Chain A
Amino acid sequence: MGVSLALELKHISKRFENIQALDGVDFDLRQGEIHALVGENGAGKSTMMRILAGIYTDYEGEYILNGKQVHLQSPRDALSRGIGMIHQELSVMPELSVAENLFLGRQLTNPFGLLDWRKMNRIAQEELAKIGFEHINVRDPMGNYSLGTQQVVEVLRVILSGAKVLIMDEPTTALSPPEVERLIQLIDVLRQSNRSIIYISHFLDEVMHVSDRITVLRDGHKVTTLEKKATNLDSIISLILGREINAELPEVTAQKDGHTLLEVRDLTADVFNDINLKVEQGEVVGLYGAIGAGHFDLARAIFGMYRYDSGTVQMENKPFPRGFSARYAIENGLAYATESRRKSLFMEEAIYRNVMIPHLQQLGRILAPSASYELETALPQIALTGVHPADPFNPVGQLSGGNQQKVAIARWLPFPPKVFMMAEPTRGMDVGAKSEVLTILRNFRNEGYGVLVISSEPETVLTVADRIVVMSHGHIVAELENKNIDKDALLRLL
């Protein structure tokens, strides 16, 4: 073909305990090419990228770099051979200056062996100017700049470390639209200097915009690799999902005339803007967005755990005071289980203790309830949610993920809230546990609670929600009645 390849994977397979994450995947990356990698969660994108970056070292198949077969031992090894990775979560040090960040781990020294800051600052400024970011002052702390700028510095750092191939994992999720535009320009500059980029993203219009070729993964298999010019958004979506798509966008809902429980008005913070949201009695609202869209922080803000700048949160027309606490939210009928079970449950404590801890306030001002009272109150809830094994003395940390999630639900039931907020209720669960947890949430709705499910997994909101609110880059971009919506419609909205 006459095009030289930067790297090539031949028949790569990788197995985790009981999941075949990748199954005989072929992949190649040309010099000076931007090659997008798309697929659903769990399709194998991150596994492949981690093999490429030297993070996973045991796999089957061949990894060919510049025509020679290699077996990378570590990310450091990968970088020394010219393969750098930009992680979704940035690894910049906000306290250090821009220049210090750029030279992290490979500082320049003067003939006396001391750090040569003057030289580093000069080179940093020059390099930034080369890619059109001369307005950055390299002596300023990194934290003074926006996430978008930090992203740029991180890219440049990896380039300066000698990377010829750049793996970018969801680089734009946390960025605002103008920042995305600037990052895409930077990627163009890199392409012109003959560097190759593997670009992983949920944002398909971005992928269509930036890439030269697109590889679609599904369930650990490679579906196909296409030239961008020879395809379009619809066919990519149907390849991702593995079926023909319904091209029509579902209708936007008319407002229901129910009894409104939770209402959020014009809520604005650094990561979300002008959010208006309602949860009515007896409905499940799904708040959907890609990771980094701001929906998790929004949920935290509604629960009094993330500072917002303006707007109001109210329950049954009673506005919460500014700077209200989680305690206040709980007392006013909100419950919240975060996306991180590790952060919301006490892993070393017994199940029944975990169930009772949010309710000590209601159970007496001074004394803690006796163990027998706690058991009596907690046991029915543990049973109701079907925590298995049901031994209330078991530490939560010994339960499987699904059962931990059930504890996270059960703990709000002794004194039921009006609105139950749950982030990623089914993350990392097998099919059985998933449907159990979602059934519990649906039952809440049937009993007249409001439920707000916050998730980045389209299946979750599609299965459980009556109404779906889609967030992207901190804004609500759509609100849909969950009737005949296809996953592709959601993906398209991001």
Chain B
Amino acid sequence: MTLQTSPRPDAPAAKPRAGLPRWVSTLAPVWTLVALFVFFGLASPSFLRPQNVNNILVQVSTLAIFGTGMTFVLLTGEIDLGISSTASIAGMVAAYLFATLKLQEPIPLIAGLLVGTLLGLFSGIICTRFRIPTFMGTLAISFIGSGLTTYVSKGRTVTTLPEYAKFLGSGRIFTDEAGKGGFPFIVIVAAICLFIAYVVLRYTRFGRYVYMTGASKSAARLAGVNTNMILVAVLTISGFTAGMAGIVGMGRLGSAQPDPVPSYLLDTISAVVLGGTALTGGRGGILQTVIGLLIYGTLRNGLDNIPGIDIYLKEFITGMVLVVALVVNVLFAGRAARDKTV
């Protein structure tokens, strides 16, 4: 048994990876973002204006709140398909309690958040207790959520919204005397969510367990991690953030809709995955999600800003760029992974 060791020798064992150095491959999403920014900056005169950058941030804020919870879920290697329905029922409950039952603020908001959290908890318990894949379990939850929304709203759009929700969604702070300018509050809400999640994932034991569960469920269990509990927890978190996003999103749009916004779900998953968080779990994190959100927001907004682009082609172009970005991610990540297994 030897006792000689230095904390950080010149890593003789780290085999040189074939091809690209580490900083290129792990930062692939950042390069994608930079490339998009440069491209749109050159192609559109209005893209880089502060007002437009501000717009991008506002546009991705709702997704960012969704994405916070989704990052937890994807890190464990699971998925939550219920978020857009959860968001809509949370928003609708808050609006209903405020507009119809005239409950005092902030009770409607708290109730909305509670509904979202409970739906997440419920799907977590169902999936672990009965060993239902989260893909199926949360899909069922999504029907429950949208069904409840339709029922509560009786198919009507509610436009009388809690003031708190309106402020969270479309309020501004640091405005001038005339009430103009300032900074959108929704961006701050999103930033707080992301920051808390960042701290939890990086510095707490729970965060560590989330990664370990995603990296290898069997190894995590052998190390004494209650992986079922972790799964319930991440789905609950995702339910909470979905509820939050629902309320904030409702405040931004100015109405509670009787139907969920289906694109929320796929937009969120695309953004998180674009940042480099693996669907298979164990790799990624909040910083990656932030990058992914910015890529997504830049792409969507940038296409709007290029003059003369056929609006009927926008969706198609978005799709093509996403394909390229994902392929780039996978090529880089895949190369790293292959090096390890060989």
Contact = CB atoms under 8 A, between A and B. Distances in A.
Given A305-B221, A326-B222, A348-B215, A398 B340 contact: yes
A398 B209 CA distance: 22
A385 B1 CA distance: 6
Interface in A383-429: 383-386, 389-395, 397-399, 411
Contacts of A74: none
Interface in A243-293: none
Interface hub of B209, B219, B224 (most chain A Cβ within 10 A) = B224
Nearest to B207: A368
Contacts of B9: 389-391
A327 B226 CA distance: 7
B298 to A, nearest CB: 30
Contacts of A439: 1
A383 B2 contact: yes
A339 to B, nearest CB: 12
B282 interface: yes
A11 to B, nearest CB: 33
A327 B219 contact: no
A365 B223 CA distance: 16
Given A346-B216, A348-B282, A367-B204, A358 B11 contact: no
Interface string B194-232: 000000000111111100100110111111111000000
A29 B7 CA distance: 59
B8 interface: yes
Given A367-B203, A391-B11, A383 B219 contact: no
Interface size class of B (residues with CB under 8 A): 35 or more
B281 to A, nearest CB: 11
A379 B216 CA distance: 24
B222 A327 contact: no
Contacts of B341: 397
B205 A366 contact: yes
B152 to A, nearest CB: 37
A386 B13 CA distance: 15
Contacts of B311: none
A97 interface: no
B225 to A, nearest CB: 8
Interface residues of A, number: 47
A368 B208 CA distance: 7
B219 A343 contact: yes
Contacts of B220: 357
A364 interface: yes
B2 A386 contact: yes
B96 to A, nearest CB: 36
B51 interface: no
B319 to A, nearest CB: 31
Interface string B267-283: 00000000000000011
A386 B1 CA distance: 6
Interface in B1-20: 1-9, 11-15
A344 B224 contact: no
A199 interface: no
Contacts of B225: 327, 357
29 contacts: A325-B226, A326-B224, A329-B224, A343-B216, A343-B219, A345-B216, A346-B216, A357-B223, A360-B209, A364-B205, A365-B205, A367-B203, A367-B204, A368-B204, A368-B205, A368-B207, A368-B208, A379-B7, A383-B4, A385-B1, A390-B5, A390-B6, A390-B9, A391-B9, A393-B11, A394-B14, A395-B340, A397-B340, A440-B1
Interface of A: 303, 305, 325-327, 329-331, 336, 338, 343-349, 357-358, 360-361, 363-368, 375, 379, 382-386, 389-395, 397-399, 411, 439-440
Given A326-B222, A348-B340, 18 more contacts: A327-B226, A330-B224, A343-B218, A343-B222, A344-B219, A349-B212, A358-B224, A360-B205, A360-B208, A361-B224, A363-B205, A365-B205, A366-B205, A383-B3, A386-B2, A389-B12, A391-B14, A411-B223
